[in-house]
Amino acid sequence: MKRFGGQRVLVTGGAGFLGSHLCDRLLDEGADVLCVDNFFTGSKKNILSIMDNSYFELLRHDVTFPLYVEVDKIFNLACPASPIHYQYDPVQTTKTSVHGAINMLGLAKRVRAKIMQASTSEVYGDPQVHPQPEQYWGHVNIIGPRSCYDEGKRCAETLFFDYHRQHRLRIKVARIFNTYGPRMHPNDGRVVSNFIVQALRGEPITVYGDGLQTRSFCYVDDMVEGFLQLMQSPDDFLGPVNLGNPGEFTMLELANKVIDMTHSVSKLVFVPLPTDDPRQRRPDISLAKEKLRWEPRIALDEGLRRTIDYFDTVLREN
Distance CA 201, CA 38 (A): 31
Name which of ligand UDP, ligand NAD, none residue 17 binds, using a CB cut-off of 5 to 8 Å depending on partner kind: ligand NAD
Q: Which of the listed partners (ligand NAD, ligand UDP, none) does 251 bind, with a CB threshold of 5 to 8 Å by partner kind?
A: ligand UDP
Instruction: Identify which range of 79-87, 196-204, 254-262, 296-304 contacts ligand NAD by CB under 6 A.
Output: 79-87
How many residues bind ligand NAD, per CB under 6 A? 28
Q: Which does 216 bind (CB under 5 to 8 A by kind): ligand NAD, ligand UDP, none?
A: none
- Residue closer to ligand NAD (CB basis): 17 or 124: 17
Task: Select the residue interacting with ligand UDP from 64, 87, 141, 206 (CB under 6 A).
Answer: 206
63 is a contact residue toward ligand NAD (CB under 6 A):
yes
Whole-number Å distance between alpha carbons of 179 and 184: 9
- The yes or no reply on residue 207 touching ligand UDP (CB under 6 A) is yes
- The backbone region for 179, taken as left when phi is positive above 0, alpha when psi lies in -120 to 50, beta otherwise, is beta
181 binds ligand NAD (CB under 6 A): no
Q: Of 68, 86, 136, 149, which residue is the catalytic one?
A: 149
Q: List phi, psi (to 5°) of 60.
A: -80, 115
Q: Is 55 a catalytic residue?
A: no
Q: Which does 16 bind (CB under 5 to 8 A by kind): ligand UDP, ligand NAD, none?
A: ligand NAD
CA distances from 99 to 63, 96, 106, 171, 301 (A): 7, 6, 10, 17, 39
Which segments of 245-294 does DSSP mark as H helices, in order?
251-262, 286-292
Residue from 26, 22, 19 nearest 4 by CA: 26
Q: What is the DSSP letter of 210?
A: T
- Separation CA 211–CA 4 (nearest Å): 42
User: In the set 104, 251, 287, 308, which binds ligand UDP (CB under 6 A)?
Assistant: 251
User: What is the rounded CA–CA span in Å between residue 110 and residue 15?
Assistant: 25
Q: Provide the β-strand partners of residue 249.
A: 215
Output DSSP code: residue 48: G
With CB under 6 A as the contact rule, the residue among 179, 194, 242, 262 that binds ligand UDP is 194
Query: Which one of 27, 30, 64, 208 is in contact with ligand NAD (CB under 6 A)?
Result: 64
Interface with ligand UDP, residue 277, by CB under 6 A? yes
The answer to whether 203 and 265 have CB atoms below 8 angstroms apart is no
**Could you say which of ligand UDP, ligand NAD, none residue 240 binds, taking C-beta under 5 to 8 angstroms by partner kind?**
none
Residue 272, classed as helix, strand or coil, is coil
**Contact status, residue 195 vs residue 309, Cβ threshold 8 Å:** no
96 binds, among ligand UDP, ligand NAD, none (CB under 5 to 8 A by kind): ligand NAD
Which stretch in 106-114, 228-236, 242-250, 271-279 sits in contact with ligand UDP by CB under 6 A? Answer: 271-279
Alpha helix segments (H runs only) across 178-218? 191-201
Query: Rounded CA gap, 231 and 238, in Å?
Result: 9
Interface residues toward ligand UDP, by CB under 6 A: 82-83, 178, 189-191, 194, 206-208, 213, 215, 251, 273-274, 277
Interface residues toward ligand NAD, by CB under 6 A: 12-13, 15-19, 37-42, 62-64, 77-81, 96, 100, 118, 120, 176, 178-179
What residues are labeled active site? 149
